[in-house]
């Protein structure tokens, strides 16, 4: 059996297309190792024509680590680790902002796997940005300013109460999620635990303030960093086809789901792989 995966970079910093693998079947150790190293190198991997079931997607994600169960998003029938992002006119998307998934927990996800199940005729692309490339583009004095700063991440910045008032059950689930996920701190720059590379780790979706600065300084710095990460140089944009799959390293990337397709419907399935506590260790790579 040919175990060699084909990996083609889509740009110098982020993104690669992977072929010669069937994600619906258990991967051999050799295949998984290639996938894992390609992920660390390219930060987001894309695969065409992978019609995975929720159970197969869960099994693939579980090769990378324990899975997160989202506190408010609905899940696939019988597979609670697979989030169903089913967006349309009556349920507009909430991920059309630059965000890193689930940074409101102590150990934010190491990665995620997204599968395209139903797509609009046109639109609905997703963009990913490399926090490593964005960090590397900063000047040395600016990097020195960021070193050691801590930022607050808050569940309610993206999951606002008014969106969860549809039923008493939905509102109770939201209240429970808020109680379980109080705001917490992560370093503004984090070190990748495997590659040792530094990456910007603030995102517009969940980061509210830099606690080591005055409110005005924090606002100015965060606004700069949120704008900086959106430079096209640091990004890859994926035009989905039915049954495409994307796998990303959530420790050093952020993404934006383009909400240009309403009133059409778009359904995506996401598995979210738990990670470790972010840390900053200067000079590792």
Rounded Cα gap, residues 273 and 234, in angstroms: 24
Q: Among 200, 222, 268, 271, which residue interacts with ligand SIN (rule: CB under 6 A)?
A: 268
| Annotated catalytic residue 68 | no
Please identify which of the residues 42, 58, 68, 99 carries the catalytic annotation: 99
Give whichever of 190 and 255 is closer to ligand SIN, judged by the CB atom: 255
Please identify which of the residues 101, 154, 244, 249 carries the catalytic annotation: 101
| Contact status: 257 vs ligand SIN (CB under 6 A) | yes
Give whichever of 213 and 251 is closer to ligand SIN, judged by the CB atom: 251
| Contact status: 244 vs ligand SIN (CB under 6 A) | no
Q: Among 14, 64, 101, 191, which residue interacts with ligand SIN (rule: CB under 6 A)?
A: 101
Angle at 200 between CA 36 and CA 273, to 5 degrees: 35
Please give the C-alpha separations between residue 206 and each of 33, 100, 281, in angstroms, as whole numbers: 32, 8, 23
Rounded Cα gap, residues 24 and 59, in angstroms: 9
The residues with which 99 forms a beta bridge, in sequence order, are: 255
Give whichever of 154 and 280 is closer to ligand SIN, judged by the CB atom: 154
- Measured from the CB of residue 98, what is the shortest distance to ligand SIN in angstroms? 10
| Contact status: 270 vs ligand SIN (CB under 6 A) | yes
Rounded Cα gap, residues 155 and 164, in angstroms: 13
β strands within 139-201, DSSP E: 150-153, 184-187, 189-191, 198-200
Give whichever of 130 and 198 is closer to ligand SIN, judged by the CB atom: 130
| Annotated catalytic residue 219 | no
| Contact status: 95 vs ligand SIN (CB under 6 A) | yes
Query: Closest Cα partner for 101 from 273, 245, 263?
Result: 273
Please identify which of the residues 68, 255, 266, 269 carries the catalytic annotation: 255
- Joined tokens for residue 171: 């509102």
Handedness of CA 49, 128, 209, 251 (dihedral sign): positive
- Measured from the CB of residue 128, what is the shortest distance to ligand SIN in angstroms? 9
Which string of b and e fits 22-31 if b means at least 16 CB within 10 Å?
Answer: ebeeebeeeb
| Contact status: 203 vs ligand SIN (CB under 6 A) | no
| Contact status: 18 vs ligand SIN (CB under 6 A) | no
Q: Considering only residues 61-90, where is the footprint of ligand SIN by CB under 6 A?
A: 85
Active site residues per annotation? 99, 101, 255, 270
Interface positions with ligand SIN (CB under 6 A): 85, 95, 101, 114, 126, 255, 257, 268, 270
């Amino acid at each position: 059996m040919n175990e060699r995966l084909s990996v083609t970079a889509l740009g110098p910093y982020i993104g690669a297309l992977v072929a010669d693998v069937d994600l619906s079947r258990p991967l051999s150790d050799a295949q998984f190792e290639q996938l894992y190293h390609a992920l660390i190198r390219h930060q987001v991997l894309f695969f065409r024509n992978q019609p995975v079931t929720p159970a197969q997607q869960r099994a693939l994600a579980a090769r990378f680590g324990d899975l997160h169960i989202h506190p408010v998003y609905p899940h696939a029938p019988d597979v609670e680790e697979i989030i169903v992002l089913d967006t349309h006119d009556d349920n507009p998307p909430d991920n059309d902002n630059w965000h890193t998934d689930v940074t409101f927990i102590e150990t934010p996800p190491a990665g995620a796997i997204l599968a395209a199940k139903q797509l609009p005729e046109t639109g609905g692309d997703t963009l990913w940005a490399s926090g490593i490339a964005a960090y590397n583009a900063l000047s040395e004095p600016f990097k020195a300013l960021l070193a050691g700063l801590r930022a607050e991440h808050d569940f309610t910045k993206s999951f606002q109460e008014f969106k969860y008032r549809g039923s008493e059950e939905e509102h109770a689930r939201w209240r429970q999620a808020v109680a379980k996920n109080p705001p917490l701190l992560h370093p503004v720059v984090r070190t990748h635990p495997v590659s040792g590379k530094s990456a910007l780790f603030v995102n517009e979706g969940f980061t509210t303030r830099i606690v080591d600065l005055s409110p005005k300084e924090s606002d100015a710095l965060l606004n700069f960093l949120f704008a900086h990460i959106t430079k096209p140089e640091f990004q890859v944009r994926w035009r989905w086809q039915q049954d495409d799959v994307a796998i990303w390293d959530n420790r050093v990337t952020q993404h934006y789901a383009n909400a240009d397709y309403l009133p059409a419907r778009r359904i995506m399935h996401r598995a979210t792989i738990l990670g470790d506590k972010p840390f900053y260790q200067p000079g590792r790579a």
